[in-house]
């Protein structure tokens, strides 16, 4: 599961990518950079204090930092097309929009207008999808003229594609028309861009770092307001100095935590937790996953030899004080294979191989 930072030239993507990952993408020839980002989770800190384990391991998500593009000339168009295959492989788009004053950084189209930039990005995504869908329709129609054995399947695909085509011509993103799982499976291999959830990041000046997150713009699943340059500065401070810096900015917690969590949720991911003297750890599974899927995440043997999942909700453990208290209160449940794991479940798998 990965998310892609996209946006026009110099909107602050690489600065933000560095701030969320703590890694600086190498400068030089523009290319796509892959970054592994730890998902902040306050629950891990609390459980670490409780269990004092040898190590603590956060959940990860992957981001790619995509070079910016400009649509104002042919070279920029070419550049955008060059990075499209990488963007198509991401499950989530994070549009980084310039909303900061900085006379030394030229603004795209000489404007600081994040809403207009987002509209322009959205139009480009719609256009790219229209091209993909149109090409695919042509191929399927051609194939339908030949005596192949796959006509039924192709006819079904064609119906979905035609619906997609019509929506795109009306500038409706595909996420709004291809909702059914079967439709999505039909087009899954095309990497359609307007089918992907999009989070909008308003990259503001540091004097606006305390702005609340705006309402998500149309067709976006989330919006975050942050100052990428300040986030980078914070990430470089020793942890003890961060609170004072944040207070100066007028914010309580780094925006990076908020952004990463929003992306994690928009990707449809949840965390379950394991605890013990060796390790306290967060594990990632798709929301709706069952106990066997969670077990497999740790080891295929645990899934194969699954007996039961001893489960307690994090909130219950906190309320009961410790595991002993949770057991006494009847909050430690014995769950079977088909149990749907909830975010924050603390699980101890019983298995036999």
* Binding region for ligand GTP (CB under 6 A): 7, 9-15, 67-68, 100, 102, 105, 203, 205, 227-229
Closest distance to ligand GTP from the beta carbon of 229 (Å): 4
Q: How far is the CB of 71 from ligand GTP (least distance, A)?
A: 13
* Stretch of 7-15, 79-87, 230-238, 310-318 contacting Mg ion, by CB under 5 A: 7-15
Residue 229 touches which of ligand GTP, Mg ion, none (Cβ within 5-8 Å per kind) = ligand GTP
Query: Looking at beta carbons only, is 13 or 98 nearer to Mg ion?
Result: 13
Both tokens assigned to 338: 């088909």
Residue 34 CB, nearest approach to ligand GTP (Å) = 15
Return the number of the residue (62 or 290) whose C-beta is nearest Mg ion.
62
State how far the Cα of 308 lies from the Cα of 325, in Å rounded to an integer. Answer: 21
Helix (H, G, I), strand (E, B) or coil at 94: strand
Query: What residue 344 binds from Mg ion, ligand GTP, none (CB within 5 to 8 A, per partner kind)?
Result: none
Neighbour-count burial for 206-244, b at 16+ CB within 10 Å, e otherwise? bebbebebeeebebbbbbbbbbbbbbbebbeeeeeebee
Residue nearest to ligand GTP (CB): 68
Q: Distance (Å, rounded) from C-alpha 92 to C-alpha 5?
A: 9
- Find residue 198's DSSP bridge partners: 93
* Residue 87 interacts with which of Mg ion, ligand GTP, none, CB < 5 to 8 Å by class: none
Which residue lies nearer to ligand GTP by CB, 223 or 309?
223
Q: Which is nearer to ligand GTP, 66 or 273 (CB)?
A: 66
15 binds Mg ion, rule: CB under 5 A:
no
The residue (of 108 and 314) whose beta carbon lies closer to ligand GTP is 108
Give the pairing type, strands 306-313 and 345-351: antiparallel
Residue (12 or 40) nearer to ligand GTP, CB: 12
Q: Of 245, 36, 35, nearest to 253 (Cα)?
A: 245
24 closest CA partner among 39, 9, 13, 8:
13
Closest to 302 measured CA to CA, from 265, 242, 347: 347
Tell me whether residue 30 is exposed, middle or buried, using C-beta atoms within 10 angstroms of its C-beta: 0 to 12, 13 to 18, 19 or more. Answer: middle
Q: Mapping DSSP to helix (H, G, I), strand (E, B) and coil, where does residue 72 land? A: coil
Binds 225, which of Mg ion, ligand GTP, none (CB < 5 to 8 A, cut-off by type)?
none
User: How far is residue 245 from each of residues 116, 224, 234, 236, measured CA to CA in Å?
Assistant: 32, 20, 7, 11
Beta carbon of residue 106, minimum distance to Mg ion (angstroms, whole number):
14
Q: Which does 132 bind (CB under 5 to 8 A by kind): ligand GTP, Mg ion, none?
A: none
Residue 14 found at the interface with Mg ion (CB under 5 A):
yes
Residue 21 binds to Mg ion (criterion: CB under 5 A): no
Interface residues toward Mg ion, by CB under 5 A: 13-14
């Amino acid at each position: 599961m990965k998310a892609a930072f996209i946006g026009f030239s110099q909107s602050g993507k690489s600065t933000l990518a560095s701030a969320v990952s703590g890694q600086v993408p190498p400068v030089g020839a523009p290319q796509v950079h892959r970054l592994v980002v730890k998902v902040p989770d306050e629950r891990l800190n609390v459980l670490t204090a409780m269990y004092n384990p040898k190590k603590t391991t956060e959940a990860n998500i992957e981001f790619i930092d995509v070079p910016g593009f400009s649509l104002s000339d042919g070279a920029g168009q070419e550049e955008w097309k060059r990075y499209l295959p990488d963007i198509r492989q991401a499950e989530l788009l994070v549009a980084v929009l310039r909303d900061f004053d900085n006379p030394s950084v030229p603004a795209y189209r000489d404007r600081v207008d994040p809403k207009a930039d987002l509209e322009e990005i959205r139009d480009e995504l719609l256009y790219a999808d229209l091209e993909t869908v149109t090409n695919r329709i042509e191929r399927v129609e051609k194939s339908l003229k030949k005596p192949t054995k796959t006509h039924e399947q192709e006819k079904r695909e064609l119906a979905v594609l035609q619906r997609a085509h019509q929506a795109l011509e009306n500038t409706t993103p595909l996420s709004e028309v291809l909702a059914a799982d079967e439709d999505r499976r039909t087009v899954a291999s095309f990497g359609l861009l307007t089918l992907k959830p999009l989070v909008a990041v308003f990259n503001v000046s540091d004097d606006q770092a305390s702005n609340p997150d705006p309402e998500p713009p149309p067709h976006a699943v989330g919006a975050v307001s942050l100052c990428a340059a300040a986030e980078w500065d914070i990430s470089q401070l020793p942890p003890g100095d961060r609170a004072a810096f944040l207070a100066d900015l007028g914010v309580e917690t780094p925006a990076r935590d908020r952004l990463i969590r929003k992306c994690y949720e928009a990707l449809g991911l949840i965390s379950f937790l394991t605890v013990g003297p060796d390790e306290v750890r967060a594990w990632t599974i798709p929301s709706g996953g069952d106990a066997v899927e969670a077990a497999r995440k740790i080891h295929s043997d645990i899934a194969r030899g699954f007996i039961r999942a001893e489960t307690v909700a994090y909130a219950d453990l906190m309320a009961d004080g410790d595991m002993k208290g949770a057991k006494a209160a009847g909050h430690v449940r014995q769950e079977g294979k088909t149990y749907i794991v909830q975010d924050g479940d603390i699980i101890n798998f019983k298995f036999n191989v």
